[in-house]
Chain A
Amino acid sequence: MNIIVCVKEIIDPELPPENFEIDPTRNIVLGPDSMPHILSPFDEHAVEAALQIKDSCGAKITILSLGNNIRREIVKKPLSMGADEIILLEDEAFADGDSWSTALPLAKAVKKIGDYDLVLCGRQAADWDAGQVGSGIAEILGLPSVTLARKIEVINGKAKVERVIPDGYEMIEISLPAVITVSNEIGQPRYGTIDKLLAAVSKQPLIWKPQDIGMDPSETGEKGRKLKLLKLFKPVREGKCEIIEGETPEEAAINLAQKLRDAKVL
């Protein structure tokens, strides 16, 4: 069983809105390099999903990431959790792509790896929230796909997947190889262990450039985009909150109840 997990580093989505500013002239987040970066949380859930399969039936897990100047300490985190190998598509040409010009090189890299049963991705990256790279990889490679998995079991060359829907879940059976995107309902990603972390530090990722996956640099990253970003802006907030006071918390609560009653909200 060979599993490829696609991961991406992003600006920490937990960053409070007041610390998040946009450079309107360049349509980018202000000072992105000074912002704290983490592995996109849903990608970490995808790693967890791969590790759950590894626990139950054994698997080799290869981490695949794409970008330029990729922070090693972040993309190596899955190794400390129990993943086995790491390949980076790292080049200037890969930077600032849209879902199209990102899914294409990832699909070519998956094809080059060749020996795989399952490709896992997070349901969406928590920066652009595009939510389509996994489906794109599947479509480019002609593979079946499932989105929003909350449980994956591999049995006899097939995967049984529980897929999140608003009022519960769907049960899906899919033949392998396949692409599955993972949602947070899969469960908390496990912590890394010290010995795996130490091994990860010294591990050198395999680096692939566009030509290594048979691509012209103009087909990927910013040059390969189909979507043009016209404007990035912060939503306007009204921000008129009436704070209800009281001598004690109990009194404030009583005043709030009365206020809502008077305003006919209740």
Chain B
Amino acid sequence: MSDYRNVMVYAEVTSESLSPITKELLGCGKKLSNDLGKELCAVLIGCNISHLAKEAIAFGAQKVYLVDHPLLENYQTDLYLWSMMKVVEKEMPRVLILGQTSIGLDLSPLLAFRLETAVVLDCVDLSIDPDSNQLLLTKPVYGGKAMATFLCNSKPQVATVRSKSMKPLEREGSRKGEVIAFNISLDSPNIRKRTLGKVAEDAKGIKLEDAEIIIAGGRGIGSRDGFKQLEELSKILKGSAIGGTRPACDAGWLSTTAQIGLTGKIVSPKLYIALGLSGSSQHMAGCSGSGTIVAINRDPRANIFKEAQFGVVGDWAIILSAFTKKIGDLLAQ
């Protein structure tokens, strides 16, 4: 067991730069490696990504493994898994963290089972127990109604981390680190599984993750037409976007890509206006990081009023209509 050493971060790349989650992972990994008295290393997998190694170093990595290969341009499970296995076998990290992203949640369980170790997905807190020097992994369970802290008996200890739950370090270009180009021979793609392409279905306008204001509706909105009323408010609020709960998306009232929650998007706008939604734990998992939450719901006992800073009890449609008009007047002043 003493062979397992450092803390390793899988550094995810989006549109040719480090993903925001990668910077958060490096921030979290730095703290863990300091507490353990070990180094922080990062693994970059992709094609023509060598320029990102110094970015990973600027955000805290002391060692960067670079797996650069034309076949790795896009995420392909088998090839990425193979690459990660090679790097992990070489570096023997004690702790391995990935983002809770569509790649991380796919790759990490396969990697853990292949390494015959355990993994905890969607962690919101990772820390080193000062007494045992062991990694403590905390994640929401029961759809967010409870939190569980685990200890992993096998190594490496693998986790994925929920976006926006960890803070990145300030970027410092002066940080020093070692870059290790990891040459890997990949066969022509393994034909068991092939990702052929992507289809973007995102709604027009501002992405939910980038929106400063989110107007969200739940089951109480009642219909696709109901959501049109939310759009009226969105039109006059600059930087706003519309989202919804899983039941609202499942009912087809808005696109599935607009789903906010545990199994949808995790957002943290400055203002979150929650209409006709009860505030289930699974929904709150996606929006509890918002700056200000405003709740409009007819049930005064709804959980959303425990999460919100401002609330109005009543029929959302009547309130929204008067609210939209008043906001229009105020903004015109």
A→B interface (CB under 8 Å): 11, 13-18, 20, 22, 29, 98-100, 103, 123-124, 126-132, 135-136, 138-140, 144-148, 150, 162-175, 178, 183-185, 188, 226-235, 237, 239-244, 249-254, 256-261, 263, 265-266
Contact = CB atoms under 8 A, between A and B. Distances in A.
A172 B306 contact: no
Interface of B: 77-78, 102, 105-106, 108-110, 112-114, 117-122, 136, 139-154, 191-202, 207, 209, 213, 237, 246, 250, 256-257, 262-263, 265, 270-271, 280-282, 291-292, 294-296, 300, 303, 305-315, 318-323, 326-327, 330-331
Contact of A250 (B305, B322, B330): B322
A252 B323 CA distance: 9
B102 A165 contact: yes
A227 B140 contact: no
Contact of A167 (B192, B201, B292, B319): B201
Given A171-B198, A227-B118, A249-B319, A239 B193 contact: no
B330 A136 contact: no
A166 B101 CA distance: 9
Given A172-B195, A175-B191, A253-B320, A129 B146 contact: no
A147 B198 contact: no
A173 B314 contact: no
26 contacts: A22-B146, A100-B113, A129-B122, A132-B121, A135-B110, A145-B193, A146-B193, A147-B105, A167-B200, A168-B199, A170-B195, A170-B198, A172-B194, A188-B250, A227-B120, A229-B148, A230-B150, A231-B148, A235-B144, A241-B305, A243-B313, A244-B311, A249-B318, A253-B321, A256-B296, A266-B237
Contact of B312 (A165, A239, A243, A265): A243
Contacts of B327: 257, 261, 266
Nearest to A13: B143
Contacts of A232: 141, 146-149
A249 B314 contact: yes
Given A13-B142, A139-B110, A241-B310, A228 B195 contact: no
Contacts, number: 253
Contacts of B148: 128, 229, 231-232
A256 B323 contact: yes
A230 B151 contact: yes
A175 B323 contact: no
A241 B192 contact: no
Given A249-B322, A258-B330, 11 more contacts: A11-B142, A144-B78, A170-B197, A228-B153, A229-B149, A229-B150, A240-B309, A249-B318, A256-B310, A265-B291, A266-B331
Report, nearest first, the 6 A-B pairs whose CB atoms are least far apart: A132-B109, A135-B109, A253-B322, A139-B113, A168-B201, A257-B326
A132 B122 CA distance: 11
Contacts of B320: 253
B145 A169 contact: no
B261 to A, nearest CB: 11
Contact of A253 (B256, B271, B319): B319
Q: Which of B197, B209, B326 has the most CB of A within 10 A?
A: B326
A29 B263 CA distance: 22
A41 to B, nearest CB: 9
Contacts of B307: 237, 239, 241
Nearest to B148: A232
Nearest to B326: A257
Contact of A254 (B147, B256, B282, B323): B323
B143 A257 contact: no
B113 A136 contact: yes
A265 B240 CA distance: 13
A132 B114 CA distance: 12
Q: Which of A126, A228, A251, A260 has the most CB of B within 10 A?
A: A260
A227 B310 contact: no
Contacts of B78: 144
Q: Which of B121, B202, B312 has the most CB of A within 10 A?
A: B312
A39 B271 CA distance: 36
A167 B263 contact: no
B149 A129 contact: no
Contacts of A263: 292
B263 A124 contact: yes
A103 B112 CA distance: 12
B315 A261 contact: no
B140 A166 contact: no
Given A126-B143, A139-B114, A256-B294, A173 B194 contact: yes
Contacts of A165: 102, 198
